[in-house]
Amino acid sequence: MSSKAKTVIILLLVCVLIAVVPLAFIKDSEFGGSDGAAEEAITEIDPTYEAWADPVLEPPGGETESLLFCLQAALGAGVFGYCFGMLRERSKYQKSNAN
């Protein structure tokens, strides 16, 4: 395995670790969004404040919302993977042409 590939794998493992450690060690939390926490903070600072606008389309529930978020990630990952694969094939092609 090349040293570059090793670096990549180690780096990615570190990422997973960073994300998993809080999950493993903080038991009494649902890991709600930090903007939810901010909403509470605003209410605390200014109890009379009321949101003056509502989201245009609010997903009816967690499932639909997760669908849309997955869609966003899928779109991004699809385009990203396509381009990355193309670049890789191109450099392979160029290399075999050079030989």
As a whole number of angstroms, the distance between CA 66 and CA 64 comes to: 5
Rg (CA), the chain: 22
CB 59 within 8 A of CB 65: yes
Is 57 or 98 the residue whose CB approaches another protein more closely? 57
As a whole number of angstroms, the distance between CA 94 and CA 90 comes to: 6
User: How many positions of this chain bind another protein (CB under 8 A)?
Assistant: 70
Nearest distance from C-beta of residue 65 to another protein, angstroms: 6
CB 51 within 8 A of CB 40: no
Q: Which of residues 4-63 bind another protein (CB under 8 A)?
A: 4-5, 7-9, 11-12, 14-16, 18-19, 21-23, 26, 28-39, 41-42, 45-46, 49-59, 62
Q: Build a one-symbol-per-residue string for 61-80: x at contacts with another protein by CB under 8 A, - elsewhere.
A: -x--xx-xxx-xxxxxxxxx
CA distances to 33, 47, 54, 58, 70 from 30, in Å: 9, 25, 24, 21, 20
- Judged by the rule CB under 8 A, the positions of this chain that interact with another protein are 1-5, 7-9, 11-12, 14-16, 18-19, 21-23, 26, 28-39, 41-42, 45-46, 49-59, 62, 65-66, 68-70, 72-81, 83-88, 90-91
